[in-house]
Every structure is written in structure tokens, then in C-alpha cells.
A and B are shown apart, each in its own frame.
Chain A
Amino acid sequence: GESVGLHLPTLSVQEGDNSIINCAYSNSASDYFIWYKQESGKGPQFIIDIRSNMDKRQGQRVTVLLNKTVKHLSLQIAATQPGDSAVYFCAENRHSGGGADGLTFGKGTHLIIQP
């Protein structure tokens, strides 16, 4: 079946380096994608989103890239800090019309920051 998945379960980076977390999706009809950050013991927190009519969107220290040709989504975090340690989930919305009931979440990538 169709699914959203991440390429690596764990990513270890040096503090100050840039981090790139990848996500593959298989439903070409998905038109909305979101990245969430989940710190230990907490609920997921929205980071950034992108619609299928865009290929890049920037936030504060984060950038999301969408490649619809190969159905690939990535999250780039600039100048990684200790507070960035968390599990990062991508999610795709498989139907439009409001609501998040069509959101499907990937399994997550654990980002570890080395001092």
C-alpha cells in the first residue's frame, strides 16, 4: 500500500553543522506536506509545511524541499543546535477539503546532536 517513510531511523550530526532529514512518499495525489518535531516526552510540534504547488519553503533555520518528480521531501536544519535533538516526522495529506484526517505520518528520524 501507499505510505510515507523516512530513509534513516537515526541521524547524528555535529553541533553547528547543517542537518538534512529525508522523507519519501508514494501518493502522487498528495498535495500538502508537513514536518513535525517531537522531543522526548512531548507531543509532536509543527515545524514547517509546504504545498504541492511549491518546491521550496523557508522558515527560521529550517527549509523544506519538495521534489514531486521523485516523490521526495526533505527538511534542512541550518547550524544545528542541541535543542534540535528530537524525532522528526514527515506527514502527507492525501485529501484536501479541510481537516487533518487524511494525514499519514512517517515513522520518524531521530536526530542526535554531537557536541
Chain B
Amino acid sequence: NAGVTQTPKFRILKIGQSMTLQCTQDMNHNYMYWYRQDPGMGLKLIYYSVGAGITDKGEVPNGYNVSRSTTEDFPLRLELAAPSQTSVYFCASSGEEKLFFGSGTQLSVL
């Protein structure tokens, strides 16, 4: 079973560039999430979605945008990359409270 799939695994961006982190899940989960994980820190919620067409801000949404046009896909957009966005990004989905995570995207903004 694929579960939650994220692409790319690694990316280097220059300051001011934009990119989209892709996330798809095949578990038919309504809930999907984007987290960032900084070194030695816990996961911080960026955005989440409770279903297609519905998104909401998490704890650290500034500098990011999301969309949820289908149940399966939940892309995360960085419009103007900044060094503070250097982090590891995890997408997750859940049927209830138990999260299933993707393998992460390591992003560096230089």
C-alpha cells in the first residue's frame, strides 16, 4: 500500500523562488495536513484540510498556501521562498486522530 506519498524528497531553492510540494494519499482519508519539522523540534502544523474544497490555517501558515481540489491531493505552495522556510516538510492524512505520514521533503532555501 502506498499510503501518503510526497514529492520531491529534496529541493534547494534560491530566495524568492516559488515551488509546490506535492502530496497524495490513497486511503480515502478526509483529513490531510502539512507539518514542518525544524532540527531538534517537534512538528508544527502549517495548514490542514477536513475535506475537498476546505482548508484551514494551522499554527505556522505564513508564507504558505494550500488547495484541496480532490480527496487524494493536498499540495503546499511556497510563493516567495525565504531562508526561514528551510525545514523538513511532512504531509499526513488521518481518518480520525491517528496520523499517517509521508516520508518528507527536505527543503533548503539559500
Contact = CB atoms under 8 A, between A and B. Distances in A.
Interface of A: 4, 9, 32, 34, 36, 41-46, 49, 89, 93, 98-101, 103-108
B50 interface: yes
Interface residues of B, number: 25
Contacts of A104: 42
B102 A100 contact: no
Contacts of B44: 105
Contacts of B99: 34, 36, 44, 46, 100, 103
Given A44-B99, A101-B48, A108 B90 contact: no
Nearest to B50: A99
A49 B56 CA distance: 26
B56 to A, nearest CB: 7
B97 A100 contact: yes
A45 B102 CA distance: 9
Contact of B40 (A4, A42, A98, A107): A107
Given A99-B48, A101-B58, A45 B101 contact: yes
A100 B48 CA distance: 9
B90 A107 contact: no
